[in-house]
Amino acid sequence: MTGYRSASQDVIPIKEESRLIAKIQDHITMYHPDSLAILETNVNDLSPWYNRFGEEQRERAMRAFFSTIVEMQMEYEGRLFRAGRSTWDRFLLFDTGDSDDLEVIALDLQERISATRIPNPACYSKMSCQWKGQVMELDPEHLTVRVGAVYQRHGDYDLDSMLIKAREAAKQAKTAPDRILVVEFNPIL
């Protein structure tokens, strides 16, 4: 399959957003899609989770999430693509299919990643902790993921602005009932 990289290449986040945007732009130049969506997955509360369970468990979580994303890519072959990871808790994907069912794909992505079981060879137990004034329940085998998606149906794609909007949607999705938020991008506004 084209466009797939090994899991080890996705372990280290790509800090330069220009590299993520360049990957999406290369795809647009090559395939000229009629619509484009950028999806950002964001792990809820990774900081306190990492603080309690450590770097090795975080790496196990990210590899497990990556495996789930690869499975979804195979299912949505020719439509769902990986741009990379911009930080430890964010995977960036893009979709070139019909935006009418984008919400279904975003919800599927959120549910599958959130349901992914993280290996726990150290046998950590669930625990409560206080983080920034809140009591949190932490599970070493699960993390909740939220998804923000922004789509544009036609025209010249403003990838920088779309990426900003996807990040904002992912932040707002933290309080959304399904932990997803899908918005249309209108470059005129």
Tell whether the model's pLDDT for residue 7 goes beyond 80. Answer: no
pLDDT of residue 89: 80
Phi then psi for residue 13, to 5 deg, are: -65, 150
Entry pTM: 0.88
* Domains by residue range for the chain, with CATH: 7-184 (3.30.70.270)
Chain position carrying tokens 């603080």 = 51
Whether 31 and 96 have beta carbons less than 8 Å apart is answered as: yes
C-alpha–C-alpha distance, residues 137 and 189, integer Å: 40
How much is the pLDDT for 185? 93
pLDDT digits (tens, 9 = 90+) for 112-127: 999 999 999 999 999 9
- Please write the tens of the pLDDT for every residue from 9-18: 555 567 678 8
SS3 content of the chain, % helix, strand, coil (to 5): 45, 25, 30
pLDDT band for 189, please (50, 70, 90 cuts): low
Q: Is the pLDDT of residue 71 over 90?
A: yes
Residue 119, both tokens: 């290996």
